Amino acid sequence: MIYLGADHRGFELKEKMKKWLKSKGWEFTDLGNDKLDTEDDFPDFAIKVVKKIKKGDFGILFCGSGVGMDVVANRFRGVRCGLGFAPQQIRIAKRDDNVNCLSVPADFTTEEEARPIIEMFIETNFSSSDKYLRRLSKIEKIK
């Protein structure tokens, strides 16, 4: 399952991406915000999304800089969130680091730019090579 979340600065892009995701046949659940609220707080939506991520699930977060959501998501054990600016960057993050959450910087990313980034995130598989598994194991041991 793909879980989506956005604050007010990411709301418009999230809504556009929902239509596109649906047209591609990808299942998703929108965890908010469900309306434009300029007083909302990004941690609320990042937390909702990352608490839902289980093995095989993905989170896609939308906020202005992307950084706030990314910081919140990476506070949670088992979540590896990447800030996405380019499709090839996210391909490597997914392939090598097995990111399971993507933070999209809505202030710096157009609808046309977001599509290939998100598509790469969803369609790229983790390589599972020994060196990447070893590195992820070291990350998991961090307290």
Which tens digit of pLDDT belongs to each residue from 9-42?
999 999 999 999 999 999 999 999 999 999 999 9
Q: Cα(27)–Cα(126) distance, rounded to whole angstroms? A: 20
Residue 132 has a pLDDT of 95
The candidate with the shortest Cα–Cα distance to 10, out of 83, 63, 61, 67, is 63
- As annotated, the active-site residues are 63
Mean pLDDT of 94-113: 98
CB 43 within 8 A of CB 72: yes
CATH class of the domain at 2-140: alpha beta
Helices then strands, counting H and E runs in the chain, come out as 6, 5
pLDDT digits (tens, 9 = 90+) for 42-77: 999 999 999 999 999 999 999 999 999 999 999 999
Q: Are 134 and 106 in contact (CB under 8 A)?
A: no
Using CA atoms, how far residue 141 sits from 37, 39, 45, 75, in Å, is 38, 37, 27, 14
Percentage of residues in the chain with pLDDT exceeding 70?
Answer: 100
Please indicate, yes or no, whether the overall pTM of this predicted structure exceeds 0.85: yes
Query: How far are the Cα atoms of 6, 33, 37, 139 from residue 62, in angstroms, in the given order?
Result: 5, 10, 14, 25
Given a contact cutoff of 8 angstroms between Cβ atoms, the answer to whether 54 and 29 are in contact is no
**Is residue 86 over pLDDT 80?**
yes
CA distance 130 to 18: 36
Asked whether 1 and 29 are in contact (CB, 8 A), the reply is: yes
pLDDT of residue 143: 76
